[in-house]
Structure 1
């Protein structure tokens, strides 16, 4: 028993279908008109009460995700959707770090320029007596050494 002998080729199936359709057409001509009318009415009634077929649509979605990670179909836009903010964040952090470094360097340069362009030597700023002098301000006229010299 071979199963291949039981199967029809495509050509044989087409020939069988055409022969069956021809026999049905011939049989339809021999059916009385009142039976044809009843068959037509029954067919129309069956079509009118036929329920529409429900179409089932499956869409896999992970909770809290706008993208279906399990589908395996990853487009360029989906990839850019999470890479682009990451790249912007990295470049933003690099820019902020660079700006802070430049700001610190500029502050140090201002202090260095002020110390080097001043008449007072930088060692004087380390002296506690000089710091007290700066806090108290310049000597008043009565305390000036020239008044004590003139009175003698």
Structure 2
């Protein structure tokens, strides 16, 4: 035995709908013509006062000859919308590569300038911290005198 709060399955809902429709048809046949006319007029008035439904219409989308997806009309902004980030990405990557090349060239130029100026002994190039030394710059004169006095053993 089913309770009233339990949902009906699809078959039971169909049977209930058919039985209800049959009862309504039988009841409508037994109504007088005046009542039928009033019901018809009330239905037409209700339908005329009803707000129109908002219908969502989608444009058809087709694959173009070039293989890209286009809607019914060509929109410049739609094309720019996916090309612009790609162009920015490519130019950004080119800029980063150029900046890295320039940075590497400048580092090599600093090493060459230090070697040619003979500020640094050639043995320093074997040291792994030499690039850090070049980036920090040479020691000031007062610091170099103090450090050279400390590093030079007294005789």
Coarse TM-score class (shorter-chain normalised): 0.3 to 0.5
Q: Which has the higher contact order (CA 8 A, sep 6+)?
A: 2
Rg: which structure is higher?
A: 1
Q: TM-score, normalized by length of structure 1? A: 0.42
Relative to its length, the structure with more helix (as a share) is: 1
